[in-house]
Amino acid sequence: MESEKEHWDIIIKPRDNSFSLNLGETWKYRDLIKRYIHRDIVTAYKQTVLGPIWYIIQPLFTTIMYMFVFAGIANIPTDGLPQPLFYLSGILIWNYFAECLGRAQGTFLSNAGVFSKVYFPRMVVPISGAISTMLKLAIQVATFAVIYLYFYYAKGIDISPNIYILLFPLLILMTACFAIGTGIIISSMTTKYRDMGILISFLVSLWMYITPIIYPLSVMSERYSEYKWIIALNPLTPIVETFRFATMGTGEFSWASLAYSFGVTVVVLIAGIGVFNKVERNFIDVV
Amino acid sequence: MSNIAIKFENISKQYRLGVVGTGTISHDLNRWWHLVRGKEDPYLKVGEVNDRSSKAISQYVWALKDINFEVEQGDVVGIIGRNGAGKSTLLKLLSRVTTPSTGIIKAKGRIASLLEVGTGFHPELTGRENIYMNGTIMGMTKHEITRKLDEIIDFAGVEKYIDTPAKRYSSGMTVRLGFAIAAHLEPEILVVDEVLAVGDAEFQKKAIGKMQNISKGEGRTVLFVSHNMGAVKSLCPKCLLMENGRVSLIGETNNVISRYIEMASSKNISDSKDEWITSIDERLKIKAPYFIGESNQIQKIFSQGESIKVVFEVDFIDEFKKIMIGIALDDIYGNRILTSHSIDDENFSISKSLKGKIRFICDLESKYLSAQSYNITFGIRNEANVSIIKSEVPLAFSIEPTRKIDGNAGILVNAGHWDMEL
């Protein structure tokens, strides 16, 4: 009887099939999340001359390339928007997504050293990755704003943001959650069989082309309406389109598609955390 | 209310041998299919005892098998055993880096594990930033670290470099800083794995002192894995011996250590006792040397003051003109206690050429030896002064105390003659 009454703080059991999100414990480690973010930001551009300016250079050059290749050679329209603004708006969301995904995807393999020595909720790593990447996003959004103002005042182009701009934090949160969810599912699958990692890395590079980054969704409706459903199924599509609509007034925005995107994000994230928590307990035996 | 801090109940851990590849998919699918139907994992029934020297038959091996023990609060327990006996696996389970295959571990309070010092150190961050980084990884809050920051820096002795990136640190400084953080964690249970093997002598002493304070002064529970018997002895009153994935003995440290020494040596002596081993020089064969005491019996445990003879049985297949035998005696901490070479002994000479079976006997100055366990290594050289055979594994014997008082033992005992002048 005595032993049943006893209180144990830690109980270590074999892994079972129960599904748990383990969010409470992750919350206890919020100081560690802050530390990781701090570390990422401090160390990102150590021993570089240009430092965070690289965050600006990289999307600008990509934009110039896109203007040349897709708008110039391939002649894909940009919904009547100035080309730099059109491409940059897509690129900054896609970059944020791709970077969060990459960070989450590498959670187990790139942290094997630390994970094999110390226990803490492994979700700390993808979460802090998504948050620290926001710094880069913020700088790129600022760049976007500067170019936006240039076109608005200097060129007098008729673009204006509307009330939907208030959705912006939600869009970013959705992008982050969707990237984390997808990334940790991939991460969980690749600890033992690394084939998945090879497959996924090239699938992700193709993914950009089914997201309206280099073309507006309206083009798909006009020219390839029978394939439009593929693009519409992509949960990132409503996010990009909503962002363009909110900032520049063109693009296909509907609450229904945004709600669909939100639903997919929630499902992917919960499924991801479940799978991830199961793998994290034994990952070090198979990595 | 009992005082148990950690309780291991039927803990086992199974590992798969070989590489991960196509062969493992079928097992994974089969296991998954069993689990989906709510059945037991079929591969948990197989697996063999963890003995790395014998060839594996099954694909699975039990790194730990049916571990049951309890540790009381405030106990400092050493865990010893040969490489691969399962010590580190045990600590990994306790630090929740991996989960057991069966069984439950229950613990009271926070567990901090020191499987490595400086986990999560980033070379670009300064010492101060790394203290925060490493401390939070270990489970401290920012507030706790800030409170202890000065103490940590002081203990590590890196004040001058605290705002320099860690990549400029010497390896010793990194280790000191890492240990200093861990030592100030204040967990209820501290798990330490051989981290003291690094750092200079002064720092090792400091580290052991700190760990003693943690256990004695603050009543925390410590589990300490080490091959350094000296450290185990000075730190842990209790000890646990692991053998092939099982706990083979728990008890008072001295008893457990001597059992360990005996275990480590008994194997190779009995293995080759009656076998003739050929040396590099094919003209000479030798049997594993053994020890005889005053009763002329082969024995491994002697009482203090008893004469101890090391006997080498050598078979000269072809003629030898000269031979040199040397032995060295070490204590279990690896300190060399004495050496003796046949060539240095003026009373020993080889008058005629050697042929056939001959016994060489070395009578040790055993009356000076203190009561503890010893390891003997030997080597033989031929006429050309070429080493033709030497012991790969030390042979061991131990001396039981018979002294009339419990003075400080020292390396030598009774090494003085007493007289009285009126």
Would you call B190 an interface residue with chain A, using a CB distance cutoff of 8 Å? Answer: no
Structure tokens at B412: 């030598």
**Residue B10 zone, left/alpha/beta (φ > 0; ψ -120 to 50; rest):** left
Length of chain B: 422
The predicted structure's pLDDT at residue B182: 82
Q: Architecture of B273-400 per CATH?
A: Distorted Sandwich (2.70)
Q: Which residues, at least 6 apart from A187, have a Cβ–Cβ distance to it below 8 Å?
A: A104, A105, A106, A107, A108, A109, A126, A276, A279
What are B155's strand-pairing partners? Answer: none
Interchain contact, B133 vs A46, CB within 8 Å: no
Task: Indicate the pLDDT class of residue B270, thresholds 50, 70 and 90.
Answer: very low
The 3-state DSSP class for residue A150 equals helix
pLDDT of residue A238: 92
A116 interfacial to chain B (CB closer than 8 Å)? yes
Degrees to nearest 5, angle at CA A263 with A259 and A229: 70
Chain B residue numbers touching A13 (CB-CB < 8 A): 99-100, 104
- Secondary structure, 3-state, chain B: CCCEEEEEEEEEEEEECCCCCHHHHHHHHHHHHHHHCCCCCHHHCCCEECCCCCCCCCCEEEEEEEEEEEEECCCEEEEEECCCCCHHHHHHHHCCCCCCCEEEEEECCCEEEECCCCCCCCCCCEHHHHHHHHHHHCCCCHHHHHHHHHHHHHHHCCHHHCCCEHHHCCHHHHHHHHHHHHHCCCCCEEEEECHHHCCCHHHHHHHHHHHHHHHHCCCCEEEEECCCHHHHHHHCCEEEEEECCEEEEEEEHHHHHHHHHHHHHHHHHHHHCCCCEECCCCCEEECCCEEECCCCCECCEEECCCCCEEEEEEEEEEEECCCEEEEEEEECCCCEEEEEEHHHCCCCCCCCCEEEEEEEEEECCHHHECCCEEEEEEEEECCCCCEEEECCCCEEEEEECCCCCCCCCCCECCCCCCCCCC
A7 touches chain B (CB under 8 A): yes
pLDDT attached to residue B37: 73
pLDDT confidence bin for B52, thresholds 50/70/90: low
The pLDDT of residue A95 is 92
ipTM of the complex, rounded to two decimals: 0.80
pLDDT band per the 50, 70, 90 thresholds, residue A1: very low
Q: Is A155 on the interface with B (CB under 8 A)?
A: no
Poorest-pLDDT segment among B145-159, B254-268, B345-359: B254-268
Average pLDDT over residues B216-222: 80
CA B220 to CA B5: how far, in whole Å?
9
pLDDT at B266: 47
Q: Which fold has domain B71-260?
A: Rossmann fold (3.40.50)
Is pTM, for the whole model, over 0.90? no
Judged by CB atoms closer than 8 Å, whether chains meet at B119 and A282 is answered as: no
Amino acid at B359: R
For chain B, say whether A16 makes contact (Cβ under 8 Å).
no
- pLDDT at residue A261 in the model: 94
Average pLDDT of A272-282? 83
- Express as a percent the part of chain B with pLDDT over 90: 6
Q: In this complex, do B122 and A39 lie within 8 Å of one another by their Cβ atoms?
A: yes
State yes or no: pLDDT of B218 exceeds 80. Answer: no
Q: Tell me the C-alpha to C-alpha distance, in Å, between residue A187 and each of A284, B355, B388.
A: 13, 70, 56
Give the count of beta carbons closer than 10 Å to the beta carbon of residue B373.
22
Report the residue of chain A nearest B136, measured CA to CA.
A32
pLDDT in tens, A100-138: 998 888 888 888 888 888 888 888 999 999 999 999 999
With contacts defined as CB-CB under 8 Å, which chain B residues touch A29?
136, 139
Give the per-residue pLDDT at A183.
92
Comparing A14 with B89, the larger pLDDT belongs to B89
Predicted confidence at residue B46, as pLDDT, reads 61
Cβ of B24 and A192 within 8 Å?
yes
**Residue A286 contacts B where some CB pair is shorter than 8 Å:** yes
For residue range B322-333, what is the model confidence (pLDDT) as tens digits?
889 999 998 776
Taking the Cβ of residue B147 and every Cβ of chain A, the question of whether any pair is shorter than 8 Å is answered with no
What ranges do the domains of chain B cover?
A: 71-260, 273-400
Ramachandran angles phi, psi of B205, nearest 5°: -65, -45
pLDDT digits (tens, 9 = 90+) for A16-75: 656 677 788 888 888 899 999 988 888 887 777 787 888 888 899 999 999 999 888 988
The DSSP secondary-structure symbol of A118 reads -
Domain ranges of chain A: 18-286
Average pLDDT, chain A: 85
Q: Taking 60 as the threshold, does the pLDDT of residue B265 lie above it?
A: no
Q: Based on the number of CB atoms within 10 Å of its own CB, is A157 exposed (0-12), middle (13-18) or buried (19 or more)?
A: middle
Would the pLDDT of A214 be above 80? yes
**Rounded distance, CA A135 to CA A45, Å?**
13
Best of B99, B134, B142 to substitute, by most chain A Cβ atoms within 10 angstroms, is: B99
Interchain CB distance below 8 Å, A120 and B139: yes
Q: Is B96 on the interface with A (CB under 8 A)?
A: yes
**A119 interaction partners in chain B (CB closer than 8 Å):** 95-97, 113
User: d(Cα B43, Cα B59) in Å, to the nearest integer?
Assistant: 9
Of B185, B273, B243, nearest in space to B53 by CA: B243
Q: Which residues pair with B291 in a beta bridge?
A: B310
Q: Are A85 and A148 in contact (CB under 8 A)?
A: yes
Residue A178 is given by DSSP the state H
**Pair B30, B42: CB distance under 8 Å:** yes
Closest by Cβ to B104, choosing from A13, A39, A46? A13
Determine the pLDDT at residue B47.
59
Say if A282 is an interface residue toward chain B (CB within 8 Å): yes
Tokens of A113: 């050293």
A-chain residues near B110 (CB < 8 A): 9
Q: Quick check: helix, strand or coil at residue A11? A: strand
Return the bridge partners of B113, or none: B191
Indicate the helix (H) or strand (E) that contains A12: strand A10-12
CB-based contact, B101 to chain A, within 8 Å: yes
Nearest alpha carbon to residue A133 among A164, A161, A175: A175
CB B225 within 8 A of CB B79: yes
Asked if A12 and B92 come within 8 Å (Cβ–Cβ), the reply is no
Q: Is B239:B80 a contact under the CB 8 Å cutoff?
A: yes
Would the pLDDT of B342 be above 60? yes
Give the nearest chain A residue to B38 (CA atoms): A17
